[in-house]
Amino acid sequence: SAGERINAWYASWSSDRMQLWALCWAASVVLAGALAAAPSAVDPLAEQVDHHHAKVEHHDAPGEHHHEKGDHSHDKVGDRAHYVHHAEHHAHDKITTDHKVEISKIEERLAKLVHRALTIDEKLDDRHSPERVKRAGSLEHHIEAAEGGNKCGRKDFFQCGGADPQCVNNLLVCDHQKDCRNGHDEEHCDVPIHAGDHFVGDKVFDYCTKRKPEHMTVNIISVNAEKFFPGFPKIRASIEMNYDHHNEEGHVTLWSKGAYSFARDRFVLAPPEADRLGFVGQFDGSDFDTFIGTIRHESTTAICAKFIFHRQK
């Protein structure tokens, strides 16, 4: 279903985010390991020095025999110790230099890993941006419509969705009582339109209005939710338009009342004139800055005009 496709998209995003942090963790482990593995430049040579010292102590043991060759023996030991010290110094410098080169390479590699991680993080943020999520929700709505609706079989029922599908009456949505087993009927209960909102619509077709406007504006005057009927907030609105039809030009403002339905993500305005043409503003459930406005005959609900509206900011 469309919902399962969107859920799979979110799961993919979460998986990518976990891979990013795993990459950063691995990079930190590599650097920490390199720093902890600094080789000792003294130990091998220290053994040689200790060995020579042992020999010196051994020569001291015989007593008088050693003193007979004392000066000559001490000269050899001194030369040998000097050689060992000189070799130790150069070896230490070489090992220290090699270690610095190794650390430099690791730091360079770590910098590349950090750059890669930041690039991935930026891409993940782009994927989870509000605009992208809004488009994903709109896509879900269109897919659901193409697949035959919400699978409830009736327009006056709401699909709870999820792994355990369930349908509840529209009257039960956003009534402050969880009727869906998963609680989905109480999850999105903020009215997306407010007093002072303005939406400008462009004509798609018009077969029935007497003025045939190219554009019209819907102005939201007030939105009030009744405590005893919270799922259908009351709306007062005006519809303004300029027209030029059959040599008649002018501007008109029509006043109307209606209600918003959380279950269907739309608002309905009663016919403001004697022609009994009502108005329906249908959101897609994700993008609440755009809606499809249709004009319908009250008696049959047949659509006879259509406009695409966008919120004016």
Residue 97 belongs to some domain of the structure: yes
Predicted local confidence at residue 116, as pLDDT: 72
**Quick check: 294 and 303 in contact, CB under 8 A?**
yes
* Whether 35 and 72 share a structural domain: yes
pLDDT in tens, 198-255: 999 999 999 999 999 999 999 999 999 988 889 999 999 999 999 998 888 999 999 9
* Whether 251 and 295 share a structural domain: yes
Rounded mean pLDDT of the chain? Answer: 77
CATH number at residue 263: 2.40.128.620
Residue 57 belongs to some domain of the structure: yes
**Quick check: 55 and 78 in contact, CB under 8 A?**
no
Residue 144 belongs to some domain of the structure: no
* Whether 210 and 244 share a structural domain: yes
* Whether 113 and 168 share a structural domain: no
Residue 169 sits in which domain range? 157-186
State the average pLDDT over residues 65-81: 52
Residue 42 belongs to some domain of the structure: yes
Residue 137 belongs to some domain of the structure: no
61 confidence band (pLDDT: 50, 70, 90): very low
State the average pLDDT over residues 275-303: 95
Of 127, 142, 168, which residue sits at a domain end?
127
| Burial of residue 191, with CB atoms counted within 10 A of its CB: 0-12 exposed, 13-18 middle, 19 or more buried | middle
CA-to-CA distance for 219 and 200, rounded, in angstroms?
9
Predicted local confidence at residue 309, as pLDDT: 98
Residue 147 belongs to some domain of the structure: no
Residue 43 has pLDDT above 60, yes or no: no
Burial of 77-104, coded b for 16+ CB within 10 Å and e otherwise, reads eeeeeeebeeebeeeeeebeeebeeeee
* Whether 168 and 66 share a structural domain: no
CA-to-CA distance for 237 and 196, rounded, in angstroms?
10
* Whether 290 and 251 share a structural domain: yes
* Whether 119 and 15 share a structural domain: yes
Higher pLDDT, 222 or 164: 222
pLDDT in tens, 92-150: 666 667 677 777 777 777 777 777 767 766 666 666 555 555 555 555 555 555 555 66
Predicted local confidence at residue 104, as pLDDT: 78
* Whether 84 and 122 share a structural domain: yes
Residue 63 belongs to some domain of the structure: yes
How many domains does the structure of the chain reveal?
3
CA-to-CA distance for 9 and 36, rounded, in angstroms?
41
- For 17, the token pair is 């985010």
- For 85, the token pair is 């010290």
Residue 192 belongs to some domain of the structure: no
State the average pLDDT over residues 75-91: 58
Range with lowest mean pLDDT among 26-35, 67-76, 202-211, 275-284:
67-76
